[in-house]
Amino acid sequence: DIKDKLITPPISSGLLAGTFRAWLLDQQKISEEIITIDDILLANRIYLINSVRKWRQADLTAPHAKECRLQRKAI
């Protein structure tokens, strides 16, 4: 949930083109956009999705968030 939208990165970003993801896109429940590290750090919620487990909320804990910020600065 980034800026009150549910988005997924494009397939060209390296993720699996799953059937549940395709269905969610087809039903316009999610949209496809490039997601930056800043987007992830500022997200209200992060979900992992797949056809078996459906929606699973993920938590980005503070230590990981700090590592992401440090890696982003190094790039």
- The domain spanning residue 41 has which CATH number? 3.20.10.10
Query: Which pLDDT score is estimated for 2?
Result: 66
Query: Which pLDDT score is estimated for 8?
Result: 92
Query: Which pLDDT score is estimated for 32?
Result: 94
For 49, residues 6+ apart whose C-beta sits below 8 A from its C-beta are: 8, 18, 20, 21, 24, 55, 56
Query: Which pLDDT score is estimated for 46?
Result: 87
Residue 49 in domain: yes
Residue 2 in domain: no
Q: How many domains does the chain have?
A: 1
Query: Which pLDDT score is estimated for 16?
Result: 85
Residues of the chain with pLDDT under 50: 74-75
For 15, residues 6+ apart whose C-beta sits below 8 A from its C-beta are: 8, 9
Range of the domain at 14: 7-74
pTM over 0.85: no
